[in-house]
Amino acid sequence: MKTERLLEGLARVRREETTPATMNLIARQGHAQDLARCQELHVSLRLPYPEGCSRALVEMWRALLSNWAMQIFLVEDRARPLASRIVSFSATVFVTDEFCREAQSKLSPYLGVQVARRFLSHKLPLLNRMQVAQANARKGLNVIMCFGGCQSDGLSPEQILAVREKQSEAFHLGHSGYRMKEFLADAIGEEVSHWMLDSGAHLRRDYSRYFKKQDAQMPEASQRPRLVGLTKKEALANPGSYLSSLFVYTPPRFHFSHSEQLLLQHALEGETSDELATSLFISPWTVKKRWHAIYERVANIDRELLPVANDPDVASRGAERRRHLLHYLRQHPEELRPWSQ
């Protein structure tokens, strides 16, 4: 008993030393440089990946991110050391109608594992950027949340709740503005399942038949898979739920080019003109040229959106126009989503 109490005490001290008393959380979109830390969180779920699939996760995620086939959204704790700031993440992929139907009828549990298997066999059921743009402009997209992870060790219930709330905020940040047709989520563990159902999702499969047919034992509570989802019809029938707001869609007005969208996305993250040139691998002159094209496009459609500053200084006028435009884009993310007639 003394030994157990001693070990518990040491573990508590260690958690207190590694976990800040206060948290400073932000929600943001994930990028390629975040993938290694996301893999650490995902692997901690101990999902049944074949060995080759597990090693290929970062390679697969990087390829999908570059082609707009996947979105990563995460929560950072700015009070933590740089290497461990990401405390939670989720990732979604845009899938074909066929894969969406299979997921709800016959696929094995753990959809992230199924996607990884198909990546290795070069039979991905995912949409590329052009297909996403076409579906987004027409019938809509099927979105599956199938990768994720959260570090909750040493966190109080209040801190876990704060992380969950920020994760929801990050999810909306990454997916508002898409024409969504159906949403599915690979909810792993009792806590995540309750969170998704309370947010408005409906249970699609609990996989009890699958495990019974395989004569396999049901996984423990922290790893038990469930498939939950929501369609636009279901969202309209329950408009007060958190997830229902994802199905609100407004078509874009300005139809920015892909390169213009990239510049605006980085500008929304606070990058200066010099930083934009560096991160986009273009010259400062090209940055100015793109801003000019963006302002001209907006002025042709909605001139009042870009009031001319009273200050005669050209730089001041540019900063004023940028401020008004970015404020508009924060409320209209559809302008930064792939869209093709």
Show the CA angle centred on residue 160, arms to residues 32 and 164, nearest 5°: 55
Count of CB atoms within 10 A of residue 329's CB? 20
Show the CA angle centred on residue 302, arms to residues 307 and 287, nearest 5°: 70
Tokens of 225: 């898979």
Closest CA to 118 of 126, 110, 130: 126
Over its length of 341 residues, how does the chain's per-residue pLDDT go in tens digits? Answer: 444 454 454 444 444 444 456 899 999 989 999 999 999 999 988 898 887 777 789 999 999 998 888 999 999 999 999 999 999 999 999 999 999 999 999 999 999 999 998 988 888 899 999 999 999 999 999 999 999 999 888 889 999 999 999 999 999 888 999 999 999 999 999 989 999 999 999 999 999 999 999 999 899 888 899 999 999 999 999 888 889 999 999 999 999 999 999 999 999 989 999 999 999 999 999 999 999 999 999 999 998 998 764 445 555 677 889 999 999 999 999 999 999 87
The pTM of this model reads 0.86
- The one-letter amino acid at 120: L
Count of CB atoms within 10 A of residue 217's CB? 7
Closest CA to 171 of 155, 192, 190: 192
- Three-state DSSP class for residue 17: helix
Closest CA to 298 of 255, 261, 264, 334: 255
Q: Where are the alpha helices (DSSP H) in 90-224?
A: 97-103, 111-120, 129-137, 157-175, 190-198, 208-213
CB 178 within 8 A of CB 201: no
| pLDDT score for 314 | 55
- Three-state DSSP class for residue 241: coil
Q: How many Å from the N-terminal Cα to the C-terminal Cα in the chain? A: 70
Do strands 70-77 and 86-95 pair parallel, antiparallel, or not at all (unpaired)?
antiparallel
Closest CA to 96 of 83, 107, 82, 110: 107
